[in-house]
Amino acid sequence: MRDLQEKINRLAEERQERLIDILRTLVAFETVSPPARNTEEAQSYVKDVLLNLGFETEEWELFPGDRIVAGTKQGERSEEYQSLLLNGHMDVVAVGDEASWKYPPFVITEEEGLLYGRGTSDMKGGMASSLFALELLQELGIKQKGDIFFQSVTGEEAGEAGTKSCVDRGMKADFAIVADTSNLEIHGQGGVITGWITIKSKETYHDGLRSRMIHAGGGINGASAIEKMAKVIEGLQELERHWAITKSYPEFPMGSTTINPSVIEGGRNAAFIADECRLWITVHFYPNETYEEVAKEIEEHILAVAMADPWMKNNPPLFKWGGKSMIEERGEVFPALDVDHTHEALAVLKEQHQTVSKRKAVVSMSSTVTDAGWLGAAGIPAVIYGPGKLDDAHAVDEKVELHQLLEHSKVLAGFIAKWCSTERSNTHDEAEARAIY
């Protein structure tokens, strides 16, 4: 195995221009989200690369203009040997004011061992190094016994769950690696759910009636939905502090379970008492919680706050949780992902990482969310393991180290060679898939 890893390492160094080339091609596709609906060309490029690698591919539309490409390379003895799923997203976040970029965002600039361009760290870099790893194995003539699956998805940056559409089609594997930004650490993640809290008055009042709603003897039992929302926000802060004190999870800083009031909308215009107010919140939770549980906790707490208010008691806040797209529905869900520290594949990945990088593998929790949560929720043991730093993801002059990209490819190629030649143990049980929506 050491010999093989050395061969892989040597070939990776020799062929590094090809790795840069794949990344250059991927970055040149302006797959920015929002607006999204622009990944077809990029996806057909990935499809061609997979076809050249001997994969069979299928594709489907997530939204018009956004396609998912899924490939399968059948192993020689699929039934008895471990399978692997590689997953990545093709969409990237907006560039913002291009004038603030020193380097052109959709052209790769190489400078002092760094590659600049939108998506280099999140996560076209990881896509490129994953495809390159497969090419290395092909060139070395290594045929794996277990199946390899590759999912090139879109929609991740807008919570559009392209990966969920893959698992909804029944795609499974013994282990999965999502090559999203993790600085070559092995990560699980907390979960995120967004929600809307709405306060709505049954009556609409003229601004001129305000004094009768707030002063002694006024006689109008009305309220400003905006002012009542202030109470709701206070209630959310109370619950957030309570969670910070009472909840914890290994590898997460205390207080990671936040409730962010991210957007507020309300009122008609200055001539009215606001009869409706809507608050968009973003909730982070730990891997030992489900989004249903945290949503329920928030509802119960806020309804208790409302019960203590004479007007809200009869006009309780309304809740709408999650959604399938931040663009289409203004809502999203990312399930949490726990790392199974005893999983056989994790041991192999850690070992390959250490062999290649000469550094001990770090297993930890990401401070962000990725599609890996959908794989875990579908019962596929998964980790996030990709090149690039979170500080660079979404940033102006986004960049990745070429050295790290190469290292990712080497580790991945070595891992695939080993894992997909490992016999399945008889005790292997597929975890029950959890329904998400």
Min separation Cβ 119 and Zn ion, Å: 9
Q: In terms of residues, how long is the chain?
A: 437
Min separation Cβ 217 and Zn ion, Å: 59
H or E stretch including 161? none
Annotated catalytic residue 328: no
| Distance from C-alpha of 391 to C-alpha of 124, rounded to nearest angstrom | 16
Helices (H), 258-391: 291-307, 344-357, 372-377
Annotated catalytic residue 156: yes
| Distance from C-alpha of 18 to C-alpha of 128, rounded to nearest angstrom | 10
The helix/strand/coil state of 78 is coil
Binders of Zn ion in range 230-259 (CB under 5 A): none
Min separation Cβ 372 and Zn ion, Å: 10
Helix axes 291-307, 225-246, angle to 10 degrees: 130
The helix/strand/coil state of 186 is strand
- Tell me whether residue 159 or residue 235 sits nearer to Zn ion (CB atom): 159
309 DSSP 8-state letter: S
Q: Given 91, 240, 275, 401, which residue is catalytic? A: 91
Min separation Cβ 273 and Zn ion, Å: 44
Rg, the chain, Cα only: 25
Whether the ω angle into residue 123 lies within 30 degrees of 0, i.e. cis, is: yes
Question: Judged by CB under 5 A, which of 147, 180, 275, 392 binds Zn ion?
Answer: 180
Min separation Cβ 164 and Zn ion, Å: 15
Q: Binding to Zn ion by residue 66, rule CB under 5 A?
A: no
Min separation Cβ 334 and Zn ion, Å: 11
- Tell me whether residue 122 or residue 332 sits nearer to Zn ion (CB atom): 122
Tokens of 278: 């809507």
| Distance from C-alpha of 225 to C-alpha of 223, rounded to nearest angstrom | 6
Q: Distances in Å between the alpha carbon of 327 and those of 28, 71, 161, 185, 226? A: 23, 27, 12, 31, 25
- Tell me whether residue 166 or residue 239 sits nearer to Zn ion (CB atom): 166
Q: Beta partners for 197?
A: 279, 319
Tokens of 170: 């029944």
In this chain, which stretch among 171-179, 180-188, 374-382, 410-418 interacts with Zn ion, using CB under 5 A? Answer: 180-188
- Tell me whether residue 123 or residue 412 sits nearer to Zn ion (CB atom): 123
- Tell me whether residue 74 or residue 282 sits nearer to Zn ion (CB atom): 282
Min separation Cβ 179 and Zn ion, Å: 9
Q: Given 66, 135, 147, 156, which residue is catalytic? A: 156
Taking the CB of residue 359, how many other CB atoms lie within 10 A of it?
10
Nearest of 252, 43, 50 to residue 135 by alpha carbon? 50
- Tell me whether residue 122 or residue 275 sits nearer to Zn ion (CB atom): 122
CB 347 within 8 A of CB 136: no
3-state DSSP of 225-285? HHHHHHHHHHHHHHHHHHHHHHCCCCCCCCCCCCEEEEEEEECCCCCECCCEEEEEEEEEE
- Tell me whether residue 184 or residue 348 sits nearer to Zn ion (CB atom): 184
| Distance from C-alpha of 148 to C-alpha of 81, rounded to nearest angstrom | 11
Binders of Zn ion in range 113-142 (CB under 5 A): 122-123
- Tell me whether residue 93 or residue 306 sits nearer to Zn ion (CB atom): 93
| Distance from C-alpha of 187 to C-alpha of 385, rounded to nearest angstrom | 6
Min separation Cβ 122 and Zn ion, Å: 4
Size of the site for Zn ion (CB under 5 A): 3
CB 260 within 8 A of CB 272: no
The catalytic site residues sit at 91, 156
Positions in the binding site for Zn ion (CB under 5 A): 122-123, 180
